[in-house]
Structure 1
Amino acid sequence: MFGRKQDPPPTVDAPLVDEPPQPEPTGKGRPTPKRKEAEARNKRPLVPTDRRAAAREARARNRALRDLEYQAMRTGDERHMPLRDRGPVRRYVRDSVDSRWNLGEFFLPLAAVFLVLQFVTARNAPVVAFATLLLLYVYIIASMVDAWLMWRGLKKRLVAKFGEDKLPRGLTMYAVLRAFQVRPSRLPKPLVKHGQRPA
């Protein structure tokens, strides 16, 4: 009782035991909807209830798409161009046509001048009117021959650069119609100058 004070027995720390990880909740956290509910939610009328509002929305969407395409054709942004103008092959065709002086690009202005001249001289000088009409036909034939020669050379370069199997259909008309357009009115806008052949 009056003896030495004994030390308390040493405490042993319990080893740390890792708790098992809690399982993560599975599922989507909500009940699956009934089939009838899902079908009812997905149903849309074939004919909209307000046709005028739907037509206005469709016109606005189409106008925005056309504006985007027109802007892309003015700037050369191929991502928003119409499908018929996209791709490296069509870009090469456009650049090749734009780099060349074509007889067809002067056809519309000259045809207008020739027709006015023919109407003016039809009564007083029928010989001049006939000669004007003949010159117009000669110019049309020369323009067609020039377009054919242009396409022959262009097709050889296209096959050499891209391979014949990579050429889409309709390239002939694409090139010829562009060659017959007045240069400032061409869309997509020309990105090369005359004489600046594409590589």
Structure 2
Amino acid sequence: MFNRSKTEAPSAPASDANEAARQQAEEIASGKGRATPSRKEREAANRRPLVPADRKAARVADRDRLRTERERQQAGLAAGDERYLPARDKGPQKKFARDFVDARWSVGEFLVPIVVVLLLVTFLPFPSDIKNQVSSYVLIVVWGFFLLTVIDCLVMGAMMARRLRAKFGAAERGVKWYASMRAIQLRPLRMPKPQVKRGQLPS
């Protein structure tokens, strides 16, 4: 009995070595190819300094990164890139509406400049009797131009809705209002920037 136990005792280290070799072989076969890091090693890898060594350089780098990100977003928005568009501008029908508006001349895009000019006219030093007449005429012209803008937007909306139904099956809710709001903006100030030329209506 004593001789049997003495001969079996050294087999424990050998079995441990075989078990370790088997685990390592399994890790390599599974694609891991390296030993599992210890808890201390993982904590050291995840540890980050709370305060950078060079605060000024870190601020400059962060400011440059934010500026680059803003410039990329602005460029994407101006180009009509869907990734950078706000929710109100996203979608194929909104893209169609923008191109439809930008391809035509709209009465509304001249509304703001004309109103500003007419209001400036009322501040000119006219005699009191003429000034009242000028103010009345200016008011009539402003309201007349506003009425023309509304009519133009309604006609444009009807034409665009017909094309949207032919292309997409149905016009998206709010797309006509979206197009009207773009139509009363000056072309250079529209955002996203116009992607088509005058007369280049979308198909």
Taking structure 1 as the reference length, the TM-score comes to 0.66
Q: Which moved more, 1:48-57 or 1:59-68?
A: 48-57
Which one-letter code corresponds to 2:143 in the other structure?
Y
User: 3-state SS of the aligned residue for 1:132?
Assistant: helix
Measured in 2, the distance between the counterparts of 1:135 and 1:184 equals: 25
Which of 1 and 2 has greater Rg?
1
Which one-letter code corresponds to 1:176 in the other structure?
S
Query: 1:72 touches 1:81 (CA, 8 Å); kept in 2?
Result: yes
1:131 to 134, 137, 140: 137
Query: 2:80 touches 2:192 (CA, 8 Å); kept in 1?
Result: no
CA deviation digits over 1:139-159, x for unaligned, max 9? Answer: 123212321221222122212
Distance 1:90 1:36, change over 3 A: farther
Measured in 1, the distance between the counterparts of 2:125 and 2:119 equals: 10
Measured in 2, the distance between the counterparts of 1:175 and 1:129 equals: 32
The equivalent of 1:197 in structure 2 is 201
Report percent identity of matched pairs.
38
Which one-letter code corresponds to 1:63 in the other structure?
R
1:177 paired to 2:181: yes
Query: 2:80 touches 2:193 (CA, 8 Å); kept in 1?
Result: no
Measured in 2, the distance between the counterparts of 1:141 and 1:53 equals: 58
1:68 to 72, 77, 97: 72
1:188 paired to 2:192: yes
Distance 1:110 1:77, change over 3 A: closer
In the comparison of the two structures, how many residue pairs are matched? 172
Taking structure 2 as the reference length, the TM-score comes to 0.65
The equivalent of 1:32 in structure 2 is 36
Query: 1:96 touches 1:197 (CA, 8 Å); kept in 2?
Result: yes
Measured in 2, the distance between the counterparts of 1:55 and 1:171 equals: 43
Measured in 2, the distance between the counterparts of 1:123 and 1:39 equals: 84
User: 3-state SS of the aligned residue for 1:120?
Assistant: coil
CA RMSD of aligned residues (A): 3.4
Measured in 2, the distance between the counterparts of 1:93 and 1:106 equals: 19
CA deviation digits over 1:104-146, x for unaligned, max 9? Answer: 1101210110110112257631121122023212212321232
1:146 paired to 2:152: yes
CA deviation digits over 1:10-49, x for unaligned, max 9? Answer: xxxxxxxxxxxxx88325233334567647755779xx75
1:102 paired to 2:109: no
In structure 2, stretches of 5+ residues that fail to align are 1-24
Distance 1:178 1:43, change over 3 A: farther
The equivalent of 1:10 in structure 2 is none
Query: 1:118 touches 1:133 (CA, 8 Å); kept in 2?
Result: no
Query: 1:118 touches 1:130 (CA, 8 Å); kept in 2?
Result: no
Distance 1:31 1:100, change over 3 A: same
